[in-house]
Structures are given as C-alpha cells and as structure tokens.
Amino acid sequence: MKKRNNIKKGIVISNKMNKTVIVLITKLVKHKIYGKYIKKKFKIYVHDEYNKCKIGDIVFIKEFRPLSKKKSWILYKKYNTKG
C-alpha cells in the first residue's frame, strides 16, 4: 500500500467550486542535457471542507485518498493570506 504523507506548498488560483480549490504548484526541474533549471507549473484540485481559502492564499496540501475523479488532495494548512 502506498504511503500518503506527501505535502506540497502552493498558491490558490481559483475557489469558485463548492468545497474545492485549485492550487498552482511551481517546481524547479533541471534539464537533462543543458543543465538549466526550468520552472514547471501544474494545477491540483484540492478538497477544502469549510470553503475558507481565498484567491492568493498560500497553502500546504496533503495527499489523500481519491475523493472524486480529479481530487485526491486535501487542505493541510493555510500559511498566510495575500493582501
């Protein structure tokens, strides 16, 4: 069985769905040939039980069991609020 204690940090970019937010994660990846670091960005659908996240919030998310087709992450901790 796979352990699910993977925690990531990201920024909330959308909160229009009920109990769901979209978090943007940026990751630095080294190019295989050239050695240059490239920013990779990807969006993750996150379960927000109490709808407490706003756009621009910095959050920590944790991997969880699949809740729907696209959601397998939950809100772990709200770090701070932008603005």
Would you say residue 57 lies in a domain?
Answer: yes
Is residue 13 within 8 Å of 41, Cβ to Cβ?
no
How confident is the model at residue 79, as a pLDDT?
79
Would you say residue 12 lies in a domain?
Answer: yes
What are the pLDDT digits (tens) for 27-83? 999 999 999 999 999 999 999 999 999 999 999 999 999 999 999 999 998 877 655
Domain that holds residue 25: 7-80
- From the CB of residue 75, how many other CB atoms can be counted at a distance below 10 Å? 22
How confident is the model at residue 77, as a pLDDT?
87
How confident is the model at residue 1, as a pLDDT?
58
How confident is the model at residue 82, as a pLDDT?
57
The tokens of 64 are what? 């969880």
Exposed / middle / buried, residue 65 (Cβ in 10 Å: 0-12, 13-18, 19+): exposed
Would you say residue 21 lies in a domain?
Answer: yes
- From the CB of residue 59, how many other CB atoms can be counted at a distance below 10 Å? 21
User: What is the torsional sign of CA 47, 23, 80, 40?
Assistant: positive
48 versus 4: the higher-pLDDT residue is: 48
How confident is the model at residue 78, as a pLDDT?
87
Would you say residue 2 lies in a domain?
Answer: no
